[in-house]
């Protein structure tokens, strides 16, 4: 089973995303950026779902560290965020995210299709 790292500080968001994906993917949950970087480095996943607004180190900084690391830089990384203002999509894609999805997740097929695009 392919493995996805879910980096998200809100426990309800982690529960919901895991409930949607757990029958199809193995999910590694991380509640902040530092834990995520440690876990991703020691056990690289096939894809990363990365929240932007995280404590201590936000999602954009986590992404920078991932892209600086030769072993991790090619892992597809999707911004999963409640930042949904006009222009946010372009902003986050220009920062190096491979895709951008907004919360709340109103249609889980969008999440599945996006993941399929990178993994299948």
19 counts as binding other proteins under rule CB under 8 A: yes
Which tokens sit at 89?
Answer: 């999509």
82 counts as binding other proteins under rule CB under 8 A: yes
110 counts as binding other proteins under rule CB under 8 A: no
- d(C-alpha 31, C-alpha 10), whole Å: 7
Report in angstroms how near the CB of residue 3 gets to other proteins at its nearest.
21
87 counts as binding other proteins under rule CB under 8 A: no
From edge to edge, which strands make up the β-sheet containing 26-30?
26-30, 3-7, 47-50, 77-81, 99-102
- Near other proteins by CB under 8 A, which window of 32-40, 59-67, 68-76, 99-107? 99-107
Report in angstroms how near the CB of residue 86 gets to other proteins at its nearest.
13
From 20, 57, 72, 111, residue interacting with other proteins (rule: CB under 8 A): 20
How many other C-beta atoms lie within 10 A of the C-beta of residue 79? Answer: 26
SS3 annotation, 64-115: HHHHHCCCCCCCCEEEEECCCCCCHHHHHHHCCCCEEEECCCCCHHHHHHHH
Contact in structure between 31 and 50 (CB atoms under 8 Å):
no
Report in angstroms how near the CB of residue 103 gets to other proteins at its nearest.
5
- Near other proteins by CB under 8 A, which window of 26-34, 35-43, 86-94, 103-111? 103-111
- Site residues (CB under 8 A) for other proteins? 9-13, 15-16, 19-20, 53, 55, 82-83, 103-104, 106, 108
């Amino acid at each position: 089973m392919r493995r996805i790292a879910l980096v998200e500080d809100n426990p309800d968001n982690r529960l919901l995303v895991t409930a949607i994906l757990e029958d199809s993917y193995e999910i590694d949950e991380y509640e902040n950026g530092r834990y995520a970087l440690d876990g991703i480095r020691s056990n690289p996943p096939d894809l990363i779902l990365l929240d932007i607004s995280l404590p201590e180190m936000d999602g954009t900084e986590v992404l920078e560290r991932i892209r600086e690391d030769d072993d991790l830089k090619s892992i597809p990384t999707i911004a999963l965020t409640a930042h949904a203002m006009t222009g946010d999509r372009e902003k986050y894609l220009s920062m190096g995210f491979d895709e951008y999805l907004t919360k709340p997740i109103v249609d889980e097929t969008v999440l599945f299709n996006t993941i399929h695009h990178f993994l299948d």
